[in-house]
Amino acid sequence: MIDLNKKIPHQRVVWIDGISKYYLNEDIIDSLNLFAGKELTDSEYNEIVQEEQLEKAKKYILGILNHKSYSEFEIIRKLKNKGFSKNIISRIINWLKDKKFINDEEFAFWWIQSRIKNKPVGRYKLIQDLKIKGINQIIIHKVINEAYAENDELTLAKNLAQKKVTSLKQKNIPLNPEKIFHFLLRRGFPPEICEKVYAHIINNLS
């Protein structure tokens, strides 16, 4: 039978044979033409299961997107880890795109700007991290160029090196320009940028 779910407006509880219990929105109830006492076909039963899984997936994804942005690849991975089927995952991704809740290009540009502002790194590190997040090469190339059109990479490296130098002085640790050079390399700055910063530090010491 079909009964009203008092806790959640516009949603109903569907009992099948008094055993199986599913939560479905009223619009789905209407689209499936469900009513009390209806004999379900196997196809209708499977559709009920699929629709409930879809609603669960939507609720889960909207919950995590409410706290943090993710790439399409990361969302797919999270849904897989939750045990959702390929069909449900595909429908969720299409739904998120239709609602403009996910956009890899916007995500990648936002993520780069956030890293540059809060924890500066070079383009090599950013490219590597975006690949791990499943962003395709075309988008990576575009957003990297846009980001460094607004932020000078050499200036970022110099500022990061200066913070490192200041930290060493405060701890009374001798300054080693070569260590600063390798520090910048590890943070993903190109060798030519690291060399310029290294030369700048050497000149200031002399």
State how far the alpha carbon of 75 is from the alpha carbons of 50, 64, 70, 105, 141, in Å.
19, 9, 6, 15, 22
146 and 161 share one domain: no
- The pLDDT assigned to 14 comes to 62
13 and 87 share one domain: yes
81 and 20 share one domain: yes
Q: Exposure pattern of 103-136 as b/e (b: 16+ CB <10 Å)? A: bbeebbbebbeebbeeebbbbbbbbebbeebebe
- The pLDDT assigned to 4 comes to 41
Cα(51)–Cα(49) distance, rounded to whole angstroms? 6
- The pLDDT assigned to 69 comes to 94
Q: How does pLDDT run across 17-27, given as a tens digit for each residue? A: 555 556 666 66
Q: How does pLDDT run across 113-151, given as a tens digit for each residue? A: 999 888 889 999 999 999 999 999 999 999 999 888 878
- Which residue, of 56, 79, 98, is where some domain finishes? 98
- What are 14's strand-pairing partners? 2, 22
8 and 92 share one domain: yes
- The pLDDT assigned to 5 comes to 47
Cα(205)–Cα(178) distance, rounded to whole angstroms? 13
- The pLDDT assigned to 118 comes to 87
- Non-local CB neighbours of 105 within 8 Å, separated by 6+ positions: 139, 142, 143
114 and 167 share one domain: no
81 and 135 share one domain: no
120 and 197 share one domain: no
75 and 139 share one domain: no
State how far the alpha carbon of 101 is from the alpha carbons of 52, 75, 130, in Å.
21, 11, 19
Burial of 148 (0-12, 13-18, 19+ CB in 10 A): middle
- Residues of the chain falling short of pLDDT 70: 1-28, 30-31, 33-42, 44-45, 206
Phi/psi-derived region of residue 188, left when phi > 0, alpha when psi is between -120 and 50, beta in every other case:
left
108 and 189 share one domain: no
- The pLDDT assigned to 11 comes to 61
10 and 62 share one domain: yes
158 and 136 share one domain: no
| Two structure tokens written together for 105 | 């290009």
- The pLDDT assigned to 6 comes to 46
Domain, as residue range, for 112? 104-150
CATH number of the domain where residue 55 is located: 1.10.10.10
Query: Residue 88: how many CB atoms within 10 A of its CB?
Result: 19
Per the structure, the count of domains in the chain is: 3
70 and 16 share one domain: yes
